[in-house]
Amino acid sequence: MHARQKQLAIGTAWLLAAGLASPAFAQPPEPTDLIDQQHCMFCHTIDAPFLAPSFRQIADRYREKPNASEMLEQKLRLGGKAHWGDMPMPLPADRGGPLSPEDAHTLIDWVLTQ
Ligand code: HEC
């Protein structure tokens, strides 16, 4: 490789690395109002399993799975069978009120980046 080409390659790699490391791209902001309204933190924490799996465990389990977010959004709104133990998550009505598809999407996007 010529020196000039090499310099270009290094420059590109550095830009890519900087882009990936930047939280502005990698992580959506925490949807605090929704989390409060739906009492997510009543049962979940970010990193310690409590009454429910931690959001980090959930993110680790589903991050690489195709279509996982659609499945989780559905489940958050309509319920479904338990994936972690015997206790299913309560429905939105029992958590603080109805949850729109957009809000479910926002929440799952955020959970999966923890
Ligand atoms: C009353 C307790 C409780 C509340 C409130 C709660 N969860 Fe859960 N959540 C659970 C339990 C228990 C599980 C494990 C269910 C299972 O085994 O699939 C769970 C599982 C999950 C999962 C993984 C589902 C799966 O199929 O693997 C996600 C994602 C999740 N919760 C997100 C949320 C979000 C976002 C909120 C707030 C909108 C929330 N939870 C509020 C108890 C709760």
Is 82 touching ligand 1 by the criterion CB < 6 Å? yes
pLDDT at 62: 97
Q: d(Cα 74, Cα 101) in Å, to the nearest integer?
A: 8
Please enumerate, by residue number, every residue annotated as part of a binding site: 40, 44, 89
Mean pLDDT by 10 residues, the chain (114 residues): 60 55 67 95 94 96 95 96 91 94 97 96
Q: Which CATH class is domain 31-111?
A: mainly alpha
- pTM of this prediction? 0.82
Token pair for 90? 């309560």
- Our answer on whether the CB atom of 9 is closer than 6 Å to any ligand 1 atom is no
Index of the ligand 1 atom closest to the CA of residue 95: 5
Question: Does the beta carbon of 104 lie inside 6 Å of ligand 1?
Answer: no
Task: Tell me the domain boundaries of the chain.
Answer: 1-27, 31-111
